[in-house]
Amino acid sequence: MGTTVAARQVFRWTVRASSSSLLSPPLTSRCLLQPRPGLFCSTSSRSPMQSSQHNHPVSPVSETPVTELSPQSLADMGFTGTQAEQMLETASKARGGRAARHALSTLTALLALGLNPSSVLKLLQKCPEVCSVKESQLQQRVGNLRKLGLVEGSLQRVVAHYPQILTVPVKTVKHVVVLLREKCLFTAPQVTDILRESPAIVLGDLAQVEFLFQYVYFRMGVKQAEIIKSRLFRYSLDEVRCRHCFLERRGLYQTPDKKGQTIIINPKLDSILNVDQMTFLTAVAKASVEEYDVFQRLVAKEWLEEEKEQGSINVDATYSEEEEDEEEETGGRSGYIKTRKRTI
Amino acid sequence: MALLMDTRLLLRKVKDLRSLTPRRHRVKEKWATTRAKCPASSLALQYFDANYSAHLGELWPSVRVALLSERKYGALLNNFSHEDVLADLQARGCRDFINDTDTEAQPCSEEKSETCLEEESNNLPVKKPDIDDQLLSPLKLSPNIKCVVFPRGDLTRFKPARPDMERLLGYYLMDAASVLPCLALDVQEGHNVLDLCAAPGGKALTLLQTQAIRFLCVNDSTASRTTRLRKVLHSYLPKHFFTEKNLRITTFDGTKWGEIERNTFDRVLVDVPCTTDRHSLIEDDNNIFNKIRTGERRKLPQLQLELLLAGIQAACLGGEIMYSTCTLSPIQNLSVVEQAVHLARENHGISVEVVDLRPLTHMFRKTFHFAPDLHLGEMVIPHLAANFGPIYMCKLRRLT
């Protein structure tokens, strides 16, 4: 699973890199993307950009159209001198041609959201791709987030902390929301909570998200309310699985039976995930660092071998092949199947 | 009347003939279409959780996670194979934990006592040499045994051994802790040694590596086990070993040895059948925690006691008996030894003393984890970084 996710991520990054490198200006030394012998490099629209970069921000550039990004226009919007400089730098890191054309409108839209200029700068530095988002698209996406419940205050916070959410098309967000509501049976407020606390979920692989939920719901017996409280989707499947398996094999965590009962009291998901490793080991697992270190390597090996055995496609089967448990695995699996039938 | 008796006997015999395989073998996991509702391995885990948490206390979670995780093997080097396997294995990062001079204290023989004390004082400058001397000098180990392991926390697996030019394998993969009872048995030159429950043959092979045994007798209760034992020995020992004078492989009931050969052997190894904790948690096939085998499992301590008593009787005066199991259960370990010592005195007039194995645990403390505070015998407990064991061992010396 891990390898296919990674492969997909790499594919996504290479696509982005290749498409953006075709348009990036080869001149700027600080440009992170490698220039390629560009067949599609449009140099014409970039000349004002270049001149505006090389000029001192104080002296105005002649013949700069109003729609172009320039120190003057930035100053108008409320950016200080240094901020404007940094802004132009960041804007050039994004896809050069498009950024120049509609960066200004994008910036205006961002400011209209209620973010102050320094936050907008930080946002763009975190995620220069936002510059390349068209203003209409931006409005659409922001509107969608509002509809999902991210109202004033939380919307700004989410955008400021995770600007990548604005680069994700509405459809993708919709898919994620559908998954959370229909397959994972979260309520609408809960979905809003998830988007607010773990916005990176929108860029995640849907199959992985679903698998993580299933693991936590059936294997760990944790229900939706606790999942929300523990901000599960901030963590990767491997982290959650590793900590859970460690506790389970130590006998400190039990999968609840069909009636939801366990012989011991399971530690809360919050206390397992939302703590750093040292606290986890001393307070919850009561083990030494050496043990956990060896365990992580051991269990990573086991999972790799399992994957090889079954093929990474069959998500349903893998978690039932895990090592010795006391729980009735057949019970857990049939429980999941029942849920599916209910929703369909 | 006589006729009825005969038919009854006859019927019993026919029944015996009919049941060609024991009941527990009739349903095989690999042929079943669905998984058992409560598999034997889960029953085993529940049993251990209930019993060992009281016995081991705080240590139980660590032991539990180690038992449920992949075990660590050691490679017992075959002295009869001519290939230089040791160098090859050491190149991969293993080390011979028995003869490693860097990290462990050496067994103190007369000549080496000087260097030994020096090493001790280098490692632990606070310790006084006198105590060391007292602690270490009584300990003597069986010679020539070499076993390599990967370092602590290293998860590399051994590759299977390949046959050399004489079709002998270079090393035998086994739990490194299983070597300890053989080391502690202290086989010396010209000894007659008995291994009462030898199959599958790892410990017997270890004993043979000492090349100090005059006559080795290996035994196991059933023919299938003895066949397996024979195969193992044939893969590792050259042909000239299999003479009447060197080696005897038998298939007798071990509990009867007191009647067969009394007061004969210098050293006796009694590696009794037990609940094999690690195996019971992983494998469902032939698992002794199967409901069908409950009776067999309940009778285990009794069987172990009888085997140990037979071993005590088979040992000669001054001979040493090593009792070992691969379980953590005190019912199968400490209780059995205590009862055996008691019964040997009561019923057979034999008095035995317990030999202190603390020098051994002290020597190998860096490779294995030993259970602390065991008032009788020593036990290797599994730990994730050193996933050997569980092995319980107790050494007895016959005084009368």
Express each pLDDT in B313-365 by its tens digit.
999 999 999 999 999 999 999 999 999 999 999 999 999 999 999 999 999 99
Sign of the CA dihedral B174, B201, B335, A263? positive
Task: Give domain status of residue B375, yes or no.
Answer: yes
More confident residue, B169 or B125: B169
Alpha helices in B270-333 (DSSP H): 277-282, 294-298, 300-314
Of B37, B60, B384, the CB nearest to A294: B384
3-class SS at B216? strand
In this structure, of A306-310, B29-33, B71-75, B294-298, the range with the lowest mean pLDDT score is B29-33
Which residue is associated with the tokens 């066949």?
B227
Cβ–Cβ gap A325/B282 under 8 Å: no
State which residue of chain B sits closest to A331, comparing Cα positions.
Answer: B37
Choosing among B41, B58, B384, B387, which should be mutated to test the A contact, i.e. which has the most A CBs within 10 A? B384
State the pLDDT at residue A307.
Answer: 87
Cβ–Cβ gap B37/A295 under 8 Å: no
pTM: 0.75
State which residue of chain A sits closest to B71, comparing Cα positions.
Answer: A298
Task: Give domain status of residue B269, yes or no.
Answer: yes
- Measured CA to CA, the distance from residue A92 to residue A24 in angstroms comes to 8
3-class SS at B274? coil
Q: Residue A330: its chain B contacts at CB < 8 A? A: 35, 37
Parallel/antiparallel/unpaired status of strands B247-250 and B213-219: parallel
- pLDDT of B295 strictly over 70: yes
Task: Give domain status of residue B119, yes or no.
Answer: yes
Q: Which residues, in sequence order, are CB contacts of B207 under 8 Å at separation 6+?
A: B142, B182, B185, B187, B193, B195, B213, B216, B269
Q: How many CA atoms lie within 13 A of B394 on its CB side?
A: 23
Mean pLDDT by 10-residue block, N- to C-terminus, for chain A (344 residues)? 53 51 44 43 44 44 51 73 75 61 78 83 83 85 90 88 89 92 93 92 91 94 93 93 95 90 91 93 93 94 90 56 41 36 35
State the pLDDT at residue B325.
Answer: 95
Does residue B312 contact residue B398 with C-beta atoms inside 8 Å? yes
Q: Residue A302: its chain B contacts at CB < 8 A? A: 70
- Measured CA to CA, the distance from residue A339 to residue B224 in angstroms comes to 50
User: Tell me: the pLDDT tens digits for B45-73?
Assistant: 999 999 999 889 899 999 999 999 999 99
Q: Terminal CA-to-CA distance of chain B, rounded, Å?
A: 50
3-class SS at A230? helix
CATH number of the domain encompassing residue B269: 3.40.50.150
Cβ–Cβ gap B153/A326 under 8 Å: no
Does residue A303 contact residue A203 with C-beta atoms inside 8 Å? no
Q: Which residues, in sequence order, are CB contacts of A172 under 8 Å at separation 6+?
A: A202
Task: Give domain status of residue B161, yes or no.
Answer: yes
Q: Is B88 annotated as a binding residue?
A: no
In this structure, of A55-69, A198-212, B117-131, B198-212, the range with the lowest mean pLDDT score is B117-131
Cβ–Cβ gap A291/B62 under 8 Å: yes
Q: How many CA atoms lie within 13 A of B159 on its CB side?
A: 7
Q: Is A249 an 8 Å CB contact of chain B? A: yes
- Measured CA to CA, the distance from residue B398 to residue B396 in angstroms comes to 7
- Measured CA to CA, the distance from residue B328 to residue B55 in angstroms comes to 9
Q: Note the maximum CA span of chain B.
A: 83
Catalytic positions of B, please? Answer: 326
Alpha helices in B57-112 (DSSP H): 60-67, 85-91
- Measured CA to CA, the distance from residue B166 to residue B234 in angstroms comes to 11
Q: Which residues, in sequence order, are CB contacts of B321 under 8 Å at separation 6+?
A: B267, B268, B269, B270, B308, B311, B312, B315, B352, B395, B396, B397, B398
Which whole-number Å values give the CA distances from A78 to A101, A129, B167, in the listed order? 20, 22, 85
Residue ranges of A 311-330 with Cβ closer than 8 A to chain B: 323-326, 328-330
Parallel/antiparallel/unpaired status of strands B147-149 and B171-174: unpaired
* Cβ count near B3 (within 10 Å): 7
State the pLDDT at residue B220.
Answer: 92
Q: Residue B39: its chain A contacts at CB < 8 A? A: none
What band does B242 get if pLDDT is binned at 50, 70 and 90?
confident
Which whole-number Å values give the CA distances from A222 to A105, A198, A209, A212, A260, in the listed order? 45, 18, 15, 12, 10
Q: Is B311 annotated as a binding residue?
A: no
Number of A–B residue contacts, CB under 8 Å? 63
Task: Give domain status of residue B218, yes or no.
Answer: yes
User: Tell me: the pLDDT tens digits for B364-379?
Assistant: 999 999 999 899 999 9
User: Tell me: the pLDDT tens digits for B161-195?
Assistant: 888 888 889 999 999 999 999 999 999 999 999 99
State the pLDDT at residue B104.
Answer: 45
Q: Which residues, in sequence order, are CB contacts of B98 under 8 Å at separation 6+?
A: B141, B145, B146, B147, B179, B183
Q: Is A333 an 8 Å CB contact of chain B? A: no
What's the rounded mean pLDDT across residues B100-107? 51
Q: Is A297 an 8 Å CB contact of chain B? A: yes
Does residue B309 contact residue B339 with C-beta atoms inside 8 Å? no
Domain assignment of residue B239, given as a range? 41-398
* The token pair that represents A260 in the structure block: 């939801």
Does residue A46 contact residue A101 with C-beta atoms inside 8 Å? no
Which residue is associated with the tokens 């001192």?
A56
Q: What is the DSSP string of A283-335?
A: III---HHHHHHHHHHHHHHHHHHHHHH-TT-HHHHGGG-S--SS-HHHHHHH
- Measured CA to CA, the distance from residue B63 to residue B381 in angstroms comes to 7
Residue A126 parent element (H or E): helix A117-126
DSSP H helix total and E strand total for chain B: 15, 12
Amino acid making up residue A207: A
Which residue is associated with the tokens 């030894």?
B337
Q: At what angle do helices B129-136 and B113-123 cross, to 10 degrees?
A: 120
Task: Give domain status of residue B157, yes or no.
Answer: yes
Cβ–Cβ gap A330/B35 under 8 Å: yes
Q: In percent, how much of chain B has pLDDT > 70?
A: 82
More confident residue, B220 or B136: B220
Of A249, A297, A328, the CB nearest to B68: A249
As for the ipTM of the complex, it is: 0.80
State the pLDDT at residue B75.
Answer: 93
Task: Determine the distance in angstroms separating the CA of B61 from the nearest CA of chain A, rounded to an integer.
Answer: 4
3-class SS at B256? helix
Cβ–Cβ gap B384/A301 under 8 Å: no
Of A246, A301, A325, the CB nearest to B65: A246
Return the beta strands (E) in B125-212 as ranges. 147-149, 171-174, 191-195
Choosing among A247, A254, A298, which should be mutated to test the B contact, i.e. which has the most B CBs within 10 A? A298
Q: Please count the structural domains in chain B.
A: 1
- Measured CA to CA, the distance from residue B36 to residue B195 in angstroms comes to 37
Of A295, A298, A324, the CB nearest to B281: A324
Q: Residue B45: its chain A contacts at CB < 8 A? A: 324, 326
* Cβ count near B372 (within 10 Å): 10
Task: Give domain status of residue B219, yes or no.
Answer: yes
Q: Which of B175, B168, B173, B228 is nearest to B197 (CA)?
A: B228
Q: What is the DSSP string of A24-81?
A: S-S--TT--SPP---SS---GGGHHHHHHHHS-SSSPPTT--TTS--HHHHHHHT--H
Looking at every residue in chain B, the average pLDDT score rounds to 84
